[in-house]
Amino acid sequence: MGRRRPPVVHGLLVVDKPAGVTSHDVVGMARRRLGERRIGHAGTLDPDATGVLLVGVGWVTRLMRYLQGMDKDYVAQVVLGVRTDTLDSSGKVVATCDPSGVDGDAVRAAAARLTGEIDQVPPMVSALKVDGRRLHELAREGVEVERAPRRVTVSRFDVQPTGDPAVWDIAVTVSSGTYVRSLADDLGQLLGVGAHLRALRRTRVGPFRVGEAAPPDAAELLPAAAALRGMARIEGGDADVAAARNGRTLPRPVGDGPWALVDASGALVAVYEADGDRARPEVVLAEPVA
């Protein structure tokens, strides 16, 4: 008799990523633990950063696009007076300045200027691709290229003093695609002394908070439908499930979408997106997944 194939695993891991490993490393840990190859993550964290990393397993990898664009909370520290080539504590020091003349009012005013909709230039150490090459790959080769600024939203930028006048605790709420290390650098530039980021920790991604996260080897595998926790739902009958299976549209529900179609048992069947006065099935799972 041949070897039995292990059961297919589907679900979502809310991981508290430790420092010193990459987001891809976390995916590898999950593959070894669960015996499932189809695993991916949403929203990369730098190796030195910690906190919430959403990891999709099995068919949930097809849903990760809906987790990529959610806003996020971070806490970190900004060190004034020292700039690095990576804008964080992992890089080489490229400039120093005495920050003793900077007072709290100036720091708070600079943070206020960086709150709201702002244009942000992606750092050279980011994973963003330019002409097919990731920026951090070019940076390692000593190549710097022009990067177009991108509009991001900083909904909150709180600053608090620490026991060291050159170090400030920060807490930010930002839109997807915002680089917190760039916010630290921008803060230092506005203050005229330079700065870099350290101890970055992501505490929330959309409705997923660090309090429910766990280390990679202990994170609970949540049901597939949990991946769409914040999404409006359509509770479908047999006819609706059949329509999704055959790629047919449904009358558009209330709201802008997307909508998660679940069957009578609450298992996820498909994700619908708006298409005029109808809703079309954008992602259809091969079978309902609880």
For residue 263, the cross-strand partners are none
Active-site residue, selected from the candidate residues 16, 25, 46, 103: 46
For the chain, give the mean pLDDT.
89
Write the burial class of residue 112 (CB in 10 Å: 0-12 exposed, 13-18 middle, 19+ buried). Answer: exposed
Determine the pLDDT at residue 150. 87
Has 88 been annotated as catalytic? no
The DSSP code for 285 is: E
Determine the pLDDT at residue 1. 44
Determine the pLDDT at residue 122. 75
Place of tokens 């194939």: 5
In CATH terms, the fold of domain 11-69+206-224 is Pseudouridine synthase (3.30.2350)
Task: Report the DSSP pairing between strands 195-205 and 50-57.
Answer: parallel
Gap between the Cα atoms of 98 and 192, Å rounded: 10
72-203 is a CATH 3.40.50.720 domain: no
CB 108 within 8 A of CB 159: yes
Q: Name the CATH superfamily housing domain 231-289.
A: PUA domain (2.30.130.10)
pLDDT tens for 235-244 read 988 899 899 9
pLDDT tens for 188-247 read 999 999 999 999 999 999 999 999 999 999 999 998 888 898 899 989 888 998 999 899
| All structural domains of the chain with their residue ranges | 11-69+206-224, 72-203, 231-289
Determine the pLDDT at residue 130. 62
For residue 95, the cross-strand partners are 83
Structure-token pair, residue 248: 């047919």
The structure's pTM equals 0.90
Write the burial class of residue 249 (CB in 10 Å: 0-12 exposed, 13-18 middle, 19+ buried). Answer: middle
Q: Computed from CA positions of residues 205, 210, 215, 220, in that sequence, does the dihedral angle turn out positive or negative?
A: negative
Gap between the Cα atoms of 149 and 62, Å rounded: 29
Structure-token pair, residue 12: 């979502």
Same fold: 11-69+206-224 with 72-203? yes
